[in-house]
Amino acid sequence: MTLLGSNTTPAQLREMTIPQLEDLAAEIRTAIIDQVSRTGGHLAPNLGVVELTIAMHRVFDFGHDRLLFDVGHQCYPHKLLTGRLDQMANLRTRKGMSGFPEPTESHYDQFRVGHAGTAISTAVGMARGDQINNQSYNPESNPDGRRTVALIGDASIVNGVAMEGLNHAGMLKRQMLIVLNDNGMSISKPQGAMAQYFDRVRVSHTYSDFKKGAREILKSVPGGSLLREAYHRMGEMTKAAINEDSWFEKFGLLTVGPIDGHDLPTLIEFLAEARDLDRPMILHVKTIKGKGLDIAEQDATRFHSPKAFTVERDETLGCKIQMPSSGRSFTSALSDAITDVMDRDEKAVAATAAMADGTGITQPLEKYPDRTFDAGICESHAMDMLAGMAKTGLRPFLAVYSTFLQRAFDQAFQEVALQGLGVRLCLDRAGLVGGDGAVHHGFCDVAILRTLPDAVLLAVIDELSLVQCLEFMRTWDSSLSSVRYPRDSVSKIFGDAPAYELGKARLLTQAHADLDANRPDVAVLSFGTPAVNAHAAIESLGSEYNIAHYDARFAKPVDSQLIRDLLSRNIPILTLEDHTIIGGFGTSVLECAQEFKLDASRVVRHGIPDQWIHQDSRNDQLVEVGLDAIGIARMIRHAADPESNEPFAPARTSASQSSASEIKAVQSTEPTS
């Protein structure tokens, strides 16, 4: 009998036997593997939390209680248990379910969350809010009140915000459970002293052989009087599993475990006791990332978030995975380029924040382990560490997703830009990122970094320009610099790239080298990879307009001489960027025009509009915002002739409405690095 259906609810779990729950776990794993193999998505993290998620929903009522996810990519089993199986077929698209918690999908989801370290703090906030509203669980005065659970894992416990949350959680005088899903992994192998501590705990303990000295432990714990009271409420099994060496006890948090995160009866028993405890506690659960799929267990990094794949089984060769090639990614190009920089410059160092594979730092990490660092899920620390290195005369590069740069802005401001230090930011996944959706779009890096005096902000259009850009950044020691590039394949349509010169754009249509001899109807200034679709748009327009096309290269400083040359000749400018139009490259062009008292009304900005763009393929998202070839052609017409009937805003909302014959550009893809 099939147990998993589109109408599956957590209430049904409470009627199932343990063998039925184990069968349900197998069905959930099969559903996740089948779907991710077709569409891509987060595989290993979700396979590892199936039993844990079932047990939590069996014990708690999260239609009433609060469940806060950390990192968010461990939510697929939760979604399948809350009636969303019918949305699974369109995973990570606008028609289906998001790959992260999404409150608009279900009242079981509290926050949209895709950044690490936040669950404990938001859980503390909800726990306090329910307390103030007289809605929180209290075994005596309100036994039907709301309970709060935070699920944190994939090494995000080492994040600074998580530490701050722990510090405050220990002050709560009510129920709050933090479930630490300890799978020994982050995106890749976790780094740092905390990771080593958890390794020792996993090796030295199992739930069945804990020491019995809980009473003595509680005497020395901050807030121990409260915890001693809680101790008397516990069952003997939980008392026996109290971890007397737990680091979390220093925060005033009773710590139990580690226990086996795939043993349903044990999980249910421990969670049932934790449910009724009216004090904050940690339940340390040991799981296997990728559980149930051998290839994912053996290579959890590769199968953390794979693109679509097929499994081929051979009696001689064993299991073999085939993933379709989607071209060379910018991440791969960065990997080779930064390794080349480190080959040539012994002062060059590189770092990442738990994303060595995803940002292309694996190669330099292996080749130059003494000059390459993985800081763990600690972007703020990584930025400050590299500021310290820059202060000693080194030339540091930080490879980080654009969306995660936001977490280190204060350090970019205080310890890098304010000090005039040459820290170099390589911003992967800039712009629209496809299936990960709004939680991961890199849409505001230019806007936030452009506020920093002397910052130098660059973008590249292909691999050759990336190589030249990194060489420019290598020798730029006097201030913060950054380069942005998307989660996409590199184009080869533009040919060799000249060296970067500070604040100078690159002319892509050589016929316009003399603006007086060949005056264009409109000048397109592309900041980064929108140049590829702009090139296709210009070709599709043929002789309808005379169009000059520039690779802008710099958002700060912009090419002020070019802008003056164009506007003083009354040549309209269309700016293009895979970034919000608020505070981005186009805004810098407007500001330049105003500074020189030129007619800024001839500047038309085009980029990501001021709205949330949700999960879908990157191609469909570009269509949605009008940054595909057809949308850019429409904007070129509007810029050249503002009185035309061409709509200013993008008219289409789905790539399916675009005729393939209209687009001459090489279509973008979504490589997973």
Are 443 and 580 a contacting pair, CB within 8 Å?
yes
- C-alpha atoms less than 13 angstroms from C-alpha of 462 in its C-beta half-sphere: 16
Residue 283, classed as helix, strand or coil, is: strand
Q: Mean pLDDT per 10-residue run, the chain (673 residues)? A: 86 94 95 91 92 97 96 92 93 90 94 91 95 94 96 81 90 93 65 54 42 47 54 58 66 84 92 90 90 82 80 60 79 97 98 92 96 93 96 97 95 97 98 93 97 98 98 98 96 95 97 96 98 97 96 98 97 98 97 95 96 94 96 95 68 38 34 38
pLDDT at 668: 35
DSSP for 519-582 reads --SEEEEEESTHHHHHHHHHHHHTTSS-EEEEE--EEES--HHHHHHHHHTT--EEEEEEEESS
The 3-state secondary structure of 438-479, one letter per residue = HHCCECCHHHHHCCCCCCEEEECCCHHHHHHHHHHHHCCCCC
565 φψ region: left (φ > 0), alpha (ψ -120 to 50), beta (else): alpha
Q: What is the CATH number of domain 10-286?
A: 3.40.50.970
Bond from prior residue into 671 cis (ω within 30 degrees of 0): no
Look at residue 212 in the predicted model and tell me its pLDDT.
42
The CATH architecture to which 330-484 belongs is 3-Layer(aba) Sandwich (3.40)
Q: 626 in the Ramachandran plot: left (φ > 0), alpha (ψ -120 to 50) or beta?
A: left
Q: Which residues are catalytic?
A: 289, 379, 407
Distance of CA 324 to the CA centre of its chain: 23
446 to 294, 450, 482: CA distances (angstroms): 42, 6, 9
pLDDT of residue 222: 54
Domain with CATH 3.40.50.920 in the chain: 513-662
Distances (CA, A) of 31 to 35, 84, 507: 6, 12, 51
Domain 513-662 adopts which CATH fold? Rossmann fold (3.40.50)
Say which amino acid occupies 480.
L
Instruction: Quick: pLDDT tens for 144-189.
Output: 999 999 999 866 788 888 889 998 998 898 999 999 998 875 455 5
Give Dmax over CA atoms of the chain in angstroms.
89
Q: What is residue 672's predicted lDDT score, i.e. its pLDDT?
A: 38
pLDDT value at position 258? 85
569's tokens = 């000749």
pLDDT value of residue 673:
37
Per residue in 201-244, pLDDT (tens digit) is 444 444 334 334 444 544 555 555 555 555 555 565 565 556 65
Q: Look at residue 376 in the predicted model and tell me its pLDDT.
A: 87
Q: Where in the chain is the domain with CATH 3.40.50.970?
A: 10-286, 330-484
Q: What per-residue confidence (pLDDT) applies to 257?
A: 79
Are residues 145 and 168 in contact, defined by beta-carbon separation less than 8 angstroms?
no
Phi, psi of 483 (to 5 degrees): -130, 140
Q: How far is the CA of 656 from the CAs of 140, 266, 438, in angstroms?
A: 58, 49, 21
Percent of the chain with pLDDT over 70: 84
Exposure b/e, 25-62, CB count within 10 A at least 16 = b: bebbbebbbebbbebbbbbbbbbbbbbbbbbbbbbbeb
d(CA 28, CA 132): 38
- The predicted structure's pLDDT at residue 148: 97
Predicted confidence at residue 63, as pLDDT, reads: 95
**pLDDT of the residue at 499:** 97
